[in-house]
Structure 1
Amino acid sequence: MQAVDLNEKFAAFDDHWRPRVAARLNGQDLRLVKVQGVFPWHSHAQAEEMFMVWKGRFFVEFRDRIVHLDPGQFIVVPRGIEHRTGAETEAEVMIFEPSEVVNTGDAARSDFTAPQEVMI
């Protein structure tokens, strides 16, 4: 048990759309990800996701609206809701979701599909 410095964790990687697991608790992951550009449309039939912005500006797009988030803001995407995420310029985001969740959800496997077990 020790303090974790999120600035140090985010500084340890540079690639986009490749979440790193910073912590695991109660079957959930705290994943850190750097994003830029737009992620594919997808949903997660069995899991909610929480996105919290650490740095930059981030958005979650739904079929009927776009929600923009600034540092310190978060959104929970309910299970089964189709969405895509993105950022015009690089953003650092924390994702809280069940450990078994694949980042691309029900979308076909692609270059965006990230390994799940990468710890940081």
Structure 2
Amino acid sequence: MSQGATIDLAGKFAAFSDHWRPRVAARLNGQDVRLVKVQGVFPWHSHADAEEMFLVWKGAFRVEFRDRIETLGAGQFIVVPRGVEHRTAADEEAEVLIFEPSEVVNTGDAPASEFTAPQGQTV
């Protein structure tokens, strides 16, 4: 991860293969730009103190709320408001950029599990 350098998203995504393990591609203003490959269904959770933005780079991705489901394709994004319970899902592998404060744990208020990613992994 190099500040002030061009980032090749295709190359960065090609550098890892595991699912639900966000990698930090850049940091700015206390925020991380995280890259993640997703497939399957992530646990329900919320983040009391932070919004999350999900931008789909490749594939199809769902953000499920208790009252609706938003389905996104490549080039689309959604902002999940702070404190709103949600889960994410993809039937086939998708590649997603996440924009959120650096201290945010990916599983939010859900109990630690195999979905809880190590903090600060870079790509």
TM bracket, shorter-chain basis = over 0.9
Identity %: 77
The reply to whether residue 90 of structure 1 matches residue 90 of structure 2 is no
Counterpart-to-counterpart distance in 2, 1:117 and 1:45:
20
| 1:6-50 C-alpha deviation (Å, 9 max, x unpaired) | 000000000000000000000000000000000000000000000
Aligned match of 1:50:
53
In the alignment, the residues of structure 1 paired with residue 65 and residue 121 of structure 2 have an alpha-carbon distance, to the nearest angstrom, of 28
Q: What SS is found at the alignment partner of 2:63? A: strand
Query: How many residue pairs are counted as aligned between the two chains?
Result: 120
1:27 alignment counterpart? 30
Q: Normalising to structure 2: TM-score of the pair?
A: 0.97
Deviation per CA, 1:81-110: give whole Å up to 9, x if none.
000001000000000000000000000000
1:60 aligns with 2:60: no
- Say which of 76, 79, 94 aligns to 1:76: 79
Deviation at 1:2, TM superposition (A): 1.8
